[in-house]
Structure 1
Amino acid sequence: MSGLILDGVSAAYRDTTVLHEVDLTVARGELLVVLGPSGAGKSTVLRVVAGLEPVTAGRVLIAGRDVTDLRPGLRNVSMVFQSYALFPHLSVAENIAFGLEVRDTPRREARQRAHAAAETVGCAGLLDRRPGQLSGGERQRVALARALVREPDVFLLDEPLSNLDLSLRAEMRSELRALHDRIGATMVHVTHDQTEALVLADRIAVLRDGRVEQVGTPDEIWRTPASSFVARFVGSPAMNLLPADGVLRPTGDAPALPDEPLELGFRPEAVTLDAVDGAPATVDRVEVIGEDAYAYLTLATGHPVVARVPAARRPDRAAAVRVAVRWADAHLFHPATGHRFVP
């Protein structure tokens, strides 16, 4: 049984359509990450599932039930917000148990379940403290425990790691993935952070302007982007995109190409410098990041290219190099639509 289905869901804010006929299926026990830039409609997807925003078309099904017209309290979902939304005057234990107690769960049972949830996320030692006494990572754990204690059909996480510093975000990312694997919950996690999406997700749904651009595993999104938008958005630095009309001719067996303009895409790690038959280029600058270096180049045609090379073999600034990329590492897109070209 599917954990969550969005069947042709559209949603509008005043006179502006925010979601356009979104189709998404999340398997029971799956962790789906909804990825996209600001304004793509990511948070609206969560709010529609939670019942906080109405739909103008389509259906929302949770655990096999059509909940499209149900109010939020009847949908059996839990949501973790970016701001954590903890009550400052309540202890950690009271914050975790709050949702149970307002639903008339016996106090003793609510406290027992709150303690069990705190144990699961690693904050059982904080139960007597108040949110103001906690670090960002500790508050995040409390928010997760509060969502977990209700035993929902679907967990909704709205950029829950964005307020943490870089090192703590990486730590919590690993803990969140481990928590999912341990409890086997259905989760929908929203983020604009591509690294977070690639590390966390069983599958990724890339949104653009309220439409689903691509759904796939992290490997599929990375290796076979369905559009030039996905190719540019997922990857840092972004995938190189050039006209495929001889600006840079990849080596190896090329497919038969149609007589129409196409864009050639390839990631920085697919670039080889100093190839005998490569296209001439000049090094504009080099950024060293640990063992790797990114060389920012300009081809003789004026087109920019980024190459990832070992830091120990990085070229000098203003050096003349020759750039090559294999067809096996290249992608082709229709420039008018952005769609992937399939020969």
Structure 2
Amino acid sequence: MSAGLALAGVSAAYRGTEVLHDVDLTVARGELLVVLGPSGAGKSTVLRVVAGLEPVTAGRVSIAGRDVTDLRPGRRNVSMVFQSYALFPHLSVAENIAFGLEVRDVPRSAARDRARAAAEAVGCAELLGRRPGQLSGGERQRVALARALVREPDVFLLDEPLSNLDQALRVGMRAELRALHDRLGATMVHVTHDQTEALVLADRIAVLRDGRVEQVGTPEQIWRTPASVFVARFVGSPAMNLLPADAFTPDGDPPPQPDGQLGFRPEAVTLADATTDGGTPATVDRVEVVGEDAYAYLTLDGGHPVVARVPAARRPAAGSAVRVTVRWPDVHVFDAGTGRRRTPA
């Protein structure tokens, strides 16, 4: 599949401080890439560089096979959806959606028809006569999406578009956004700090850390085979357990690992009664019940913390003694110096 968007060796600075460092990213035509990372990782700067709102200090940006590095924003054929919606309060929904077309001298009747078609695509056609002040947060987000859609861009850029919605609306809009992408076959880059949003929405995820790409992969790859300690900690709630390699022996007969860190997710942990043979002794510090599941927060003999995911109906009591085993195939080994994963799952 041809590239819808490519960043090759891109670096960028903000007020004299470099915030992106040699970023390589390729988004296939029709793909939904989610850029995930904590605040300050450079996620929004990636979008601004693609849109032409920030210049690059090194590297090239290509959209639909065209080098756009030196083109001004209006000539890049991208649409951006902002966290704040950025709707004009004095214009109707129809006028907000069609605004960009009229600025580009699209005839008014054609702009009106395209605005209605875009509104129907995102489910807000019944709102065309209203103004932004009369809309809920979810309705405003639909209008912002329709305004982006109506331009028929080569790439959609979405900068944390769901962050202003409450949890229930976020879940609903997540599903609608994914369905819209699948229906249009559009090339989208979606920025978020929300790992659940990334895992649910993405065809692939690019994890950013301090302006550098830490890992790119499918949601399953990011979850199951994190490339570094940073990804292991950032993706997952609770986060992956990380222990010194000499502090714990997983179940079975693993090869010796004299240094580095062992990483394993809470669901890879099995708990047994303290009188059971095998496993590592531990004490249950506390238990959190989340629906059918429970998370047991443990301290191993030796003082290392571990979190286990267990059925809520069979959860251990706080203060009880247990034995801990971990499935070795689910254990990752991370290099002590670089923090990178050095053995396959």
Q: Which moved more, 1:12-21 or 1:68-77?
A: 12-21
Deviation (angstroms), 1:133: 0.5
Letter paired with 1:232:
R
Distance in 1 (alpha carbons) for counterparts of 2:304 and 2:14: 40
The 1-side partners of 2:253 and 2:118 are apart by 56
**Partner SS state of residue 215, structure 1:** strand
Given that residues 248 and 324 in structure 1 are in contact (C-alpha distance below 8 angstroms), is that contact kept between their aligned partners in structure 2?
Answer: no
* Contact 2:97/2:147 (8 A) holds in 1: yes
Q: TM-score, normalised by structure 2?
A: 0.97
Secondary structure, counterpart of 1:105 in structure 2? coil
Q: Which moved more, 1:169-178 or 1:275-284?
A: 275-284
SS at match of 1:340: coil
Correspondences of 1:166-181 after superposition (within 5 Å):
166-181=167-182
8 Å contact kept, 2:12–2:55: yes
Corresponding residue of 1:73: 74
Cα contact 2:284–2:296 (8 A) shared by 1: yes
Per-residue CA deviations over 1:13-37 (Å, capped at 9, x if unaligned) read 1231100000000000000000000
Q: Write the distance in 1 (CA, Å) between the matches of 2:183 and 2:42.
A: 30
Is 1:81–1:158's contact at 8 Å kept on the other side of the alignment? yes
Q: Is the 8 A contact 1:11 1:20 kept in 2?
A: yes
SS at match of 1:138: helix
| Match of residue 205 from structure 2 | 204
Q: C-alpha displacement at 1:335, in angstroms?
A: 2.1
1:21-76 per-residue CA deviation (whole Å, 9 max, x = no partner) reads: 00000000000000000000000000000000000000000000000000000000
Q: In the aligned structure 2, how far is the partner of 1:341 from the partner of 1:322?
A: 28
Bigger CA drift: 22-31 or 270-279?
270-279
Q: Distance in 1 between matches of 2:188 and 2:314?
A: 43
The secondary structure found in structure 2 opposite 1:272 is: strand
Aligned-pair CA distance for 1:261: 1.4
Are the equivalent residues in 2 in contact too, given 1:295–1:309 (CA < 8 A)?
A: yes
* 2:88 is the alignment partner of 1:87: yes
Q: Secondary structure at the match of 1:140?
A: helix
SS in 1 for 2:120: helix
Aligned length: 340
Deviations 1:214-270 (A, max 9, x none): 00000000000100100010000000000011x22111242454xx51100000111
Cα offsets for 1:112-159 (capped at 9, x unmatched): 000000000000000000011101100000000000000000000000
Aligned to 1:299: 300
Say if 2:333 and 2:341, in contact at 8 Å, map to a contact too. Answer: yes
Contact 2:332/2:343 (8 A) holds in 1: no
Q: Supply the AA of the counterpart residue of 1:16.
A: T
Code of the aligned partner of 2:165: L
Aligned to 1:63: 64
* 2:34 counterpart SS class: strand
- Note the alpha carbon deviations across 1:277-305, whole angstroms, 9 max, x for none: 11111111111010000111111111111
Superposed structure 1 runs of 4+ greater than 2 Å apart: none
Letter of the structure 1 residue corresponding to residue 262 of structure 2:
L
Q: Which residue identity is paired with 1:228?
A: V
Q: Which residue of 2 aligns with 1:251?
A: 251
Q: CA RMSD in A?
A: 0.9
In 2, distance between residues paired with 1:21 and 1:85? Answer: 31
Q: How does 1:1-343 map to 2 (within 5 A)?
A: 1-245=2-246, 247-255=247-255, 257=257, 260-274=258-272, 276-342=277-343
Distance in 1 of aligned mates of 2:256 and 2:104: 64
What secondary structure is seen at the aligned counterpart in 2 of 1:162?
coil
Looking at structure 2, the residues matched to 60 and 108 of structure 1 have their Cα atoms a distance apart, in angstroms, of: 35
Q: Deviations over 1:84-138 (max 9, x none)?
A: 0000000000000000001100000000000000000000000000011101100
